[in-house]
Amino acid sequence: MRLGIIGLPQSGKTSLFNALTGGEAPVAAGGYGQDTHVAVVKVPDARLDRLTEMFSPKKTTPAEVHYLDFPGAGFGSRDRSEVAWVGQLRTVDALVIVVRAFTDPSVPNDGPIDPVAALEKVQLDLVVADLAVVERKRTRLESDLKKTKTAERAPIEAEIALFEEFQKSLEEGQPLRAHDLSPDQLRDIRGFQFLTLKPVLVLVNVGEDQLGDRTAIEEGVRAAYSYPMTAVASLCAKLEMELAQLDGEDAATFMADLGLVELAAGSVIRQSYDLTGLISFLTAGEDEVRAWPIVRGEKAPGAAGVIHSDLEKGFIRA
């Protein structure tokens, strides 16, 4: 699974990235770093640990999450470097949008601190990027329609109608995941990799002094940003980054003092799995114990095909 971390400058994206990965990516002064940070994290799974104890395999292979921390500059710009990383953002499976709620005089902010307003700005950039794709596709379809025989126009007309709906929604600032699309429609448009069709986990970055108000803060954002395939949670990215640098016992002590039940490193993976509809199924033997990510509800032959296509073709029964 590939997760793209995005947000406005000074939102705490890179602090979150470090918290999730245990890394030490530099937190850019001013929040305008231009590098995309990438890291791979193993998915914790107690079942995998238990099977490893039972089978003592030569190798244990957990599932992996690839985190990509994108620059904070808006990608509605025509700057060539920004357009390039928008293309990279389209390849992720879900978006993690970081919005700022914390107050810190040493970390300037462009205007009042308002997580809902920040979220709307980020969504506008996503909408603008998708709208450009939709408009180009609709123009091509209308051109193709003129060259198509009347008897063969129905499929193109249906596609134009769908893209007209998309354009209307985007022009109103609505994400494409607000549409109730059929499995066939989702399959047909998969190649466009629309940003606003991707599942979104909104993480509200609070200050340590706001930890007791997290529920109310989350509810406020959730009420203003209620769409399908969307979840809202909160954390203190700076604190999480510091905890990620501690050993397990020290981290547990500080977590207990702060009333934290789970670190972001685990909760973000769990919530992202839920949003994308993924689960892990396990295989075990003396050679290898391994976790395989599959879509929830996948039948046994399809799950076997994740291991190897020949297994799916020759599948007899579970």
Residue range 177-226, pLDDT digits in tens? 999 999 999 999 999 999 999 999 999 999 999 999 999 999 999 999 99
User: Can you identify the CATH homologous superfamily of domain 2-36+71-276?
Assistant: P-loop containing nucleotide triphosphate hydrolases (3.40.50.300)
What's the pLDDT band for 144 if we cut at 50, 70, 90?
very high
Q: Note the pLDDT of residue 114.
A: 95
pLDDT at 32 over 90: no
pTM for this structure? 0.90
> Is the pLDDT confidence value at 265 over 80?
yes
Q: What is the mean pLDDT of the chain?
A: 90
pLDDT band at 307; cut points 50, 70, 90: confident
Name the residue ranges covered by the structural domains of the chain.
Answer: 2-36+71-276
Neighbours of 3 (CB within 10 A): 24
